[in-house]
């Protein structure tokens, strides 16, 4: 039980690091690991809710506690897939490190978003967010259901 708890805690810490770093690993490789880990217990199509990153971290930790198995790299890939595809973020509260994978932006654009927010106040609409230098309006429109204010 101690090993499982240590693993779950390590997973949470590792997932936090994943949230802030984009890797050179391909989305296809991450998706394959996601299918391997999540698909071992249930259809991966069951994973369809849009949650916050902390909610996904809690869900993944819970799955590990009830028997989900995977390497640290696979669990990090699971989190990246969830961040890229099923995570919502509050753009008025999120740190720059939380934004790149969820909004499909670069780290530099995430920093610009946080600076713009500090200089101009909270965002109220998607239109406000599109004023941030470097934001791709089309990508933002594609992820509008994942943006919270």
**SS3 assignment, position 34:** helix
pLDDT-based confidence at residue 101 (cuts at 50, 70, 90):
very high
The listed CATH number (3.30.365.10, 3.40.50.300, 1.10.150.280, 1.10.275.30) that belongs to domain 89-148: 1.10.150.280
Strand partners, 52: 88
Cβ distance 89 to 123 under 8 Å? Answer: no
Q: Rounded to the nearest 5 degrees, what angle is found at the Cα of 54, between the Cα atoms of 49 and 60?
A: 70
Q: What is the mean pLDDT of residues 132-143?
A: 96
Map out the domains of the chain as residue ranges.
2-85, 89-148
Q: Write phi, then psi, for 148 (nearest 5 degrees).
A: -115, 150
DSSP string, 73-109: HHHHHHHHHHHHHSEEEETTT--GGGSHHHHT--HHH
Helix axes 53-65, 72-85, angle to 10 degrees: 140
Question: If you ran DSSP here, which 8-state letter would residue 56 be given?
Answer: H
Q: To the nearest whole percent, how much of the chain has pLDDT over 90? A: 78
Confirm if 123 and 148 have CB atoms less than 8 A apart.
Answer: no
What's the pLDDT tens digit per position in 30-70?
999 999 999 998 998 888 899 999 999 999 999 999 999 99
Lookup result for tokens 């819970």: 62
Residue pair 84/101 in contact by the 8 Å Cβ criterion:
yes
DSSP calls for 50-70: -EEHHHHHHHHHHHHHTT---
For the entire predicted model, the pTM comes to 0.77
pLDDT in tens, 80-93: 999 999 999 999 99
Q: State the Cα–Cα distance between residues 81 and 44, nearest whole angstrom.
A: 11
């Amino acid at each position: 039980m101690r090993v499982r708890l240590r693993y779950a805690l390590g997973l949470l810490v590792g997932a936090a690091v994943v949230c802030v770093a984009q890797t050179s690993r391909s989305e296809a490789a991450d998706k394959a690991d996601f299918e391997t880990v999540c698909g071992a217990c249930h259809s991966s199509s069951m994973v369809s809710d849009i949650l916050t990153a902390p909610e996904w971290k809690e869900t993944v930790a819970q799955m590990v506690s009830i028997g989900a198995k995977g390497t640290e790299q696979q669990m990090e890939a699971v989190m990246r897939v969830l961040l890229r595809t099923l995570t919502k973020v509050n753009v008025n509260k999120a740190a720059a490190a939380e934004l790149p994978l969820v909004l499909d932006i670069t780290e530099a654009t995430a920093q610009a978003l946080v600076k713009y927010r500090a200089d101009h106040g909270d965002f109220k609409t998607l239109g406000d967010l599109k004023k941030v230098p470097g934001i791709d309006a089309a990508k933002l429109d594609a992820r509008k259901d994942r943006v919270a204010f």
